[in-house]
């Protein structure tokens, strides 16, 4: 069935003038300190100073990377893009055109861990490659390829096993307006801030919060599509959002591991339900941001659901960064089942009915001036950061098990440059395997817990 012709005609008549209006009407020049929007072809103000710039090479284009002149950048980029699509263009021409608009980068983290119980080891924890590319003016793609523990094969207990090479993030963005971008691909699930900003060089402590590797299984990625964007609200306030439909978690939901084994369905969904997830953040001024986020989706074929709520806050006060998150998951009672017959995934283990976790962290940046004066010039703006984090997780709220844990971490790092950081930390942890709920304020936390030390180097390139 199709819409009636008169209706289509009316719709076309309504939309064509709107489209024409958007292209014809140029916005007024931005006022001082108003929020900026990129200008495709902004008009020159009718009045103003006489510019006497003859003989001057445009300083905004010293390396040829900036658009050459007013009104020509978009045209040239589009011309190049069209030429690339010509069947007569050679492979090298295409490659050159792609490389012109592609950025390669990444980050890595290498650890040395000394557990209070067990043996010390170096760990090649993660090596992540970024590829960013502007396909056209409005369309861009971003991908992160992660090699965890150096990829595959992985030597475990003396045997070569399968390691991990993953697309943790691979999206294509279509910018519709300044406040609305359509995103599709492998998406970082926007539950909490940590999952979205998990890059090791951006974090002050080398180990991720325990609740945010289990209840929120960072890095939590799923195949899906949706929208993101942000608005300025007045002079200082800003509201940002992300909302997606994704394949969602499957039924491999377990105590201790949380949702970790249930994430990442890229080949197929385990049911017809599509999970919905969103995060809305509000920032009243630079340095303070609060957000709420959530997830809802069926995890098995019978429609039993996982619902998750998260709140996060970040507050920078002078040299202090205060940050924290809390998450609560509500899970319909069920079992690990519903995978194809013969799958080892059908363990029929009981699925926990609730999970909970939080962390609160304080970071203090400081400098020791005499020390920095001894360093090479390019490190003179570096700093140290001392961190303190307390956190808990409970991957089955009905029972006290080893999935309950409380941890207190003290960290010190040295960051000579923003993209490079040497981190050290030591934490004290107590799990609930003895049937006692672990908390910092209970005596057995100190008497029954154990320590672990971790040092790492993380860098962004």
Give the nearest distance from C-beta 180 to another protein in angstroms: 7
Cβ atoms of 129 and 104 within 8 Å: the answer is yes
Choice between 64 and 87, CB closer to another protein: 64
Choice between 27 and 118, CB closer to another protein: 27
167 DSSP β-pair partners: 145
- Candidates 43-51, 205-213, 219-227, 395-403: pick the segment binding another protein (CB under 8 A): 43-51
Closest to 399 in 3D by CA, of 255, 252, 212: 255
Give the nearest distance from C-beta 333 to another protein in angstroms: 36
Choice between 19 and 159, CB closer to another protein: 19
DSSP-derived letter for residue 9 is: H
37 sits near another protein (criterion: CB under 8 A): yes
74 sits near another protein (criterion: CB under 8 A): yes
Residue 424 has a CB neighbour count (10 Å cut-off) of 16
How many residues interact with another protein (rule CB under 8 A)?
A: 84
33 sits near another protein (criterion: CB under 8 A): yes
Give the nearest distance from C-beta 101 to another protein in angstroms: 10
Helix (H) or strand (E) holding 80: helix 73-85
Give the nearest distance from C-beta 426 to another protein in angstroms: 25
Alpha-carbon distance of 310 to 327, in angstroms, equals 4
Determine which residue in the list 5, 6, 28, 44 makes contact with another protein, applying CB under 8 A: 44
For residue 128, what are the contacts with CB-CB under 8 A and spacing of at least 6?
Answer: 106, 107, 108, 144, 145, 146, 147, 168, 199
365 sits near another protein (criterion: CB under 8 A): yes
Choice between 355 and 421, CB closer to another protein: 421
Helix (H) or strand (E) holding 275: strand 275-285
First to last CA, the chain: 54
Choice between 102 and 353, CB closer to another protein: 102
Give the nearest distance from C-beta 57 to another protein in angstroms: 8
Binding map of another protein across residues 270-309, x = CB under 8 A, - = no contact: ---------------xxx-x--------------------
Residue 53 has a CB neighbour count (10 Å cut-off) of 8
Residues within window 171-230 making contact with another protein, judged by CB under 8 A = 175-178, 180, 196-197, 202
Choice between 33 and 157, CB closer to another protein: 33
Tokens at residue 214, please? 């289990």
Alpha-carbon distance of 192 to 314, in angstroms, equals 11
Q: Residue 312, SS3?
A: strand
- Candidates 7-15, 113-121, 207-215, 431-439: pick the segment binding another protein (CB under 8 A): 7-15
Give the nearest distance from C-beta 184 to another protein in angstroms: 15
Task: Give φ, ψ of 410 to 5 degrees.
Answer: -120, 130
The CA distances from residue 324 to 104, 401, 412, 441, in Å, are 32, 24, 19, 19
5 sits near another protein (criterion: CB under 8 A): no
> What is the pairing mode between strands 159-161 and 164-177?
unpaired
Determine which residue in the list 6, 28, 48, 370 makes contact with another protein, applying CB under 8 A: 48
For residue 126, what are the contacts with CB-CB under 8 A and spacing of at least 6?
Answer: 107, 108, 109, 146, 147, 148, 149, 200
Residue 312 has a CB neighbour count (10 Å cut-off) of 25
35 sits near another protein (criterion: CB under 8 A): yes
316 sits near another protein (criterion: CB under 8 A): yes
Tokens at residue 238, please? 């800003």
Give the nearest distance from C-beta 213 to another protein in angstroms: 20
45 sits near another protein (criterion: CB under 8 A): yes
Half-sphere exposure of 37 (CA within 13 A, CB side): 16
Residues within window 91-120 making contact with another protein, judged by CB under 8 A = 103, 105
Residues within window 124-163 making contact with another protein, judged by CB under 8 A = 132, 137-138, 140, 142
Choice between 286 and 374, CB closer to another protein: 286
368 sits near another protein (criterion: CB under 8 A): no
């Amino acid at each position: 069935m199709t819409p009636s012709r008169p209706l289509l005609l009316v719709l076309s008549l309504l939309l064509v003038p709107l489209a024409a209006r958007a292209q014809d009407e140029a916005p007024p020049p931005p006022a001082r300190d108003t929020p900026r929007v990129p200008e495709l072809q902004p008009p020159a103000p009718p009045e103003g100073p006489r510019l006497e710039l003859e003989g001057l090479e445009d300083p905004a284009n010293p390396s040829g990377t900036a658009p050459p002149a007013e009104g020509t950048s978009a045209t040239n980029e589009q011309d190049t893009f069209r030429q690339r699509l010509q069947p007569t263009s050679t492979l090298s021409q295409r490659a050159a055109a792609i490389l012109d608009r592609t950025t390669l980068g990444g980050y890595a983290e290498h650890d040395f861990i000394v557990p209070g119980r067990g043996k010390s080891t170096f760990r090649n924890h993660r090596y992540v490659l970024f590829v960013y590319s502007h396909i056209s003016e409005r369309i861009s793609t971003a991908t992160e390829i992660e090699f965890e523990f150096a990829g595959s094969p992985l030597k475990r207990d003396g045997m070569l096993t399968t390691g991990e090479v993953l697309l943790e993030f691979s999206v294509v963005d279509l910018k519709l307006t300044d406040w609305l971008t359509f995103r599709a691909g492998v998406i970082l699930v926007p539950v909490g801030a940590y999952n979205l900003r998990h890059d090791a060089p951006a974090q002050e402590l080398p180990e991720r919060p325990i609740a945010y590797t289990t209840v929120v299984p960072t890095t939590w990625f799923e195949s899906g599509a949706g929208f993101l964007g942000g608005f300025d609200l007045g002079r200082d306030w800003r509201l940002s959002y992300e909302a997606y439909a994704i394949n969602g978690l499957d039924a491999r939901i377990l105590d201790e591991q949380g949702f970790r084994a249930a994430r990442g369905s890229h080949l197929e969904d385990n049911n017809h339900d599509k999970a919905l997830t969103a995060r809305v953040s509000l920032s009243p001024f630079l340095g303070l941001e609060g957000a709420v986020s959530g997830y809802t989706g069926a995890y098995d074929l019978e429609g039993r659901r996982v619902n998750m709520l998260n709140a996060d806050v970040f507050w920078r006060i002078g040299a202090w960064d205060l940050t924290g998150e809390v998450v609560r998951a509500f899970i319909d009672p069920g079992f690990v089942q519903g995978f194809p017959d013969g799958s080892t995934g059908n363990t029929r283990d009981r699925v926990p009915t609730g999970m909970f976790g939080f962390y609160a962290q304080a970071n203090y940046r400081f400098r020791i001036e005499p020390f920095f004066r001894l360093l090479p010039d390019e490190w003179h703006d570096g700093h140290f950061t001392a961190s303190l984090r307390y956190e808990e997780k409970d991957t089955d709220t009905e029972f006290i098990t080893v999935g309950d844990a409380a941890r207190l971490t003290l960290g010190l790092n040295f960051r000579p440059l923003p993209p490079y950081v040497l981190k050290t930390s030591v934490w004290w942890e107590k799990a609930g395997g003895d049937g006692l709920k672990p908390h910092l304020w209970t005596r057995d936390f100190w008497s029954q817990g154990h320590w672990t030390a971790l040092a790492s180097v993380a860098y962004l390139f």
